[in-house]
Amino acid sequence: MSTLEQKVGQIREEAMNALLGADGMDRLNEIRVAYLGKKGTLTAVLKGMKDVTPEERPKVGKWVNDAREQIEGRIEEIRARLEEEKLEARLEAEAIDVTLPARKQKRGHRHPNTIALEEVERIFVGMGYEVVEGPEVEYDEYNFTKLNIPANHPAKDEQDTFYITDEILLRTQTSPVQARIMEQGKLPIRMIAPGRVFRSDEVDATHSPSFHQIEGLVIDRNITFSDLKGTLDLFAKELFGPDTKTKFRPHHFPFTEPSAEVDVSCFKCGGRGCRFCKGSGWIEILGCGMVHPHVLEMCGIDPEEYQGFAFGVGLERIALLKYEIDDMRLLYENDARFLQQF
Ligand code: DAH
């Protein structure tokens, strides 16, 4: 046996031995390069052909090719096996156990303010009212003057106002939306205007510098105080239950005449008196009245031809009452443990 044939055999054995320990694609490639690559040991034999006699060359070529084929064959086998193992490992890792219980999706909850607002909107939309909005940054003129609250009027002090300039402020009430809608001159009007209002109040269980009101306004021919009473009585019954009674107490608001505050019979004790209604049997829920003729005039409506009523409800107050929450601060803290309950 020629030494060259032995050498090729040796290289093949070495390669095969090395392949026995090949446990990954990287190692497999290393071995391929070491033996079969351009600078590999087997390839080197071919490069030595120039020293071989022409008669011997075909034989040497055949030895080398046979060895190459064997090594390549083994490499291919191992590669296929490694691929298969990899696939199996992946299938195992990605297996889905369809018998596992599903993970619970956390769902958001509607804020009590939102629930209360949607309830109020549902009631008034059911009576044919439109829901409108006005700006939170408002002119003094709309927030006060056009509502019959002129400069130096004490009501301006009562509502501690955040002024931006002398004429521009954060609205202290949703009532300016009344003036804006009346000015548009499209009559009759049946609207509610929910929204955020601002007053420079200290935060406590019943106050916040930012809260929400819902304004109501009806303007038409032949509107009387009976319409106001009937509407708000129905509203109270829809909101707090059919047995709810209402009481209209005389009050004063600059933009309505006459004006009233409305109490509802305590829905906790039915009016007998309990801790909830502080023993009185009644709970105050809103302010209202017949739109002042001067307000109608300032907004371009002839008070001889048209009359109307208006009301203003505190949204937080409704939410606190309806859900028996005893501290308004809870509504603003966004504590998930609180919100979760709604
Ligand atoms: N704007 C009043 C307030 O913030 C509430 C109010 C009372 C609104 C009577 C009205 C109304 O429209 O007629 O205290």
Q: Is residue 287 in contact with ligand 1, taking CB distance under 6 Å? A: yes
pLDDT in tens, 93-134: 999 888 989 888 888 889 999 999 999 999 999 999 999 999
Exposed, middle or buried: residue 165 (CB in 10 Å: 0-12, 13-18, 19+)? exposed
Q: Is residue 143 in contact with ligand 1, taking CB distance under 6 Å? A: no
Angle at 204 between CA 323 and CA 194, to 5 degrees: 55
Q: Is residue 311 in contact with ligand 1, taking CB distance under 6 Å? A: yes
Q: Is residue 256 in contact with ligand 1, taking CB distance under 6 Å? A: yes
For the record, the structure tokens of 161 come out as 């106002």
pLDDT in tens, 219-269: 999 999 999 999 999 999 999 999 999 999 999 999 999 999 999 999 888
Please report which helix (H) or strand (E) contains residue 44, including its range: helix 41-47
pLDDT bucket at 3, cuts 50 / 70 / 90: confident
- For residue 211, give the nearest of 278, 301, 281, 112 by alpha carbon: 112
Sequence-distant (6+) residues with CB within 8 A of 30 are: none
pLDDT in tens, 52-79: 888 888 888 899 999 999 999 999 999 9
* Average per-residue pLDDT for the chain: 93
Q: What is the mean pLDDT of residues 37-42?
A: 90
Q: Which residue lies with its CA nearest to atom 2 of ligand 1?
A: 312
Q: Is residue 215 in contact with ligand 1, taking CB distance under 6 Å? A: yes
Question: Cα(156) to centroid of ligand 1, in Å?
Answer: 13
Q: What is the distance between the alpha carbons of residues 336 and 62, in angstroms, rounded to a whole number?
A: 80
- Can you give the pLDDT at residue 152? 85
